[in-house]
Chain A
Amino acid sequence: MLNEKNIFFNLDATNKQEVLEFISNKAVELNISDNKEGLLGDLNKREGEFSTGLQDGFAIPHAKSEYVKTPTILFLKLNSPIEWETMDGTDVKYVFSLLVPKENEDNIHLQMISKLAVCLLEDEFKNFIQSCNDAVELKEYIIKNMEVE
């Protein structure tokens, strides 16, 4: 659900739409989705309900979508912060995209995503994500924090 291939550093994007397109493209490339336009539509639909911008430069664009084949997390670190309606008014530089199939019976992965979301309330977790620049280290840290007892 998360490996080094799902982690992208130094991404150049100038707005939210470019980020969502990047996510949709990568999801198809990585065989997470079989329909780029469909997934992009669902990500945008969710953003339309209310923005997934959080605080301290984080956002969590996500979708429970019929175009997602397997529960997956992508992480993107942008080169420069972009405008994204957030809870504290900051621009966004760190993006977790949470992709889940519409009909999902797989509780373990939903529990892990839920734990990841809760981790994003913690300063210690956010500080690590912001400062880590090694994909393997980052993956291991996130997975360790998502583990379900």
Chain B
Amino acid sequence: MNIVGISACPAGLAHTPMAAKALEKAGVALGHNIKMEQQGSMGQINTITDEEAKACDFVIIASDQKIIGMERFDGKPIIRIDITTCIKAPEAVIKKCVKAIEEKTK
């Protein structure tokens, strides 16, 4: 699947890059295309373009923070997940999301 996502945390220092890297690694390991944008203390990093947003199957939001640029994903399924879960069990998160999307599109 084509997965895009955004991570963000309160200080934007540590959990944001950790969740992004953990999900990217897990996504690739499970055979998906994945790109994670970070919205942290350095602003937006690895920003998801409008084209990438349009081409995705679903969006993971690893955060309970306010996210910039959600309008990019209008019409796409959006799954919000606690950022610590994404760091702790990234493969389980990706699997669960993929399964949910597959069931939805059956």
Are A121's CB and B18's CB within 8 A? yes
Q: Does A117 contact B (CB under 8 A)?
A: yes
Shortest distance from the beta carbon of A35 to any chain B beta carbon, whole Å: 18
With A and B bound together, what is the CA distance between A108 and B85 in angstroms? 28
* Closest chain B residue to A61, Cβ basis: B14
Shortest distance from the beta carbon of A119 to any chain B beta carbon, whole Å: 10
Residues of A within 8 A of B (CB): 46, 49-50, 52, 54-55, 60, 62-64, 87-88, 98, 100, 104, 107, 110-111, 113-118, 120-121
Quick one: given A100-B41, A110-B42, A118-B21, are A87 and B88 in contact (CB under 8 Å)?
Answer: yes
Quick one: given A54-B87, A87-B88, A118-B18, are A98 and B13 in contact (CB under 8 Å)?
Answer: yes
Q: Which of A54, A55, A113, A117 has the most CB of B within 10 A?
A: A117
Are B17's CB and A100's CB within 8 A? no
With A and B bound together, what is the CA distance between A118 and B7 in angstroms? 13
Interface size on B, residues (CB 8 A): 19
A interface, over-half SS: mixed
Are A110's CB and B41's CB within 8 A? yes
Contact check: which of A55, A60, A111 meets B14 at CB < 8 Å? A60
Q: Does B77 contact A (CB under 8 A)?
A: no
> Chain B residues with Cβ under 8 A from A88's Cβ?
88
| Bitwise interface map of B from 1 to 25 toward A, beta carbon under 8 Å scored 1, else 0 | 0000000001111111110011001
Are B21's CB and A121's CB within 8 A? yes
Contact check: which of B10, B16, B42, B83 meets A111 at CB < 8 Å? B42
> Contacts A46-B11, A87-B87, A117-B17 given; 10 further ones with Cβ under 8 A?
A63-B11, A87-B84, A98-B13, A107-B42, A110-B41, A115-B17, A116-B14, A117-B18, A118-B17, A121-B21
Shortest distance from the beta carbon of A28 to any chain B beta carbon, whole Å: 20
* Closest chain B residue to A63, Cβ basis: B11
With A and B bound together, what is the CA distance between A52 and B25 in angstroms? 22
With A and B bound together, what is the CA distance between A54 and B22 in angstroms? 13
9 tightest Cβ-Cβ pairs between the two chains A and B: A117-B14, A87-B88, A114-B17, A49-B10, A64-B11, A118-B21, A117-B18, A110-B42, A60-B14
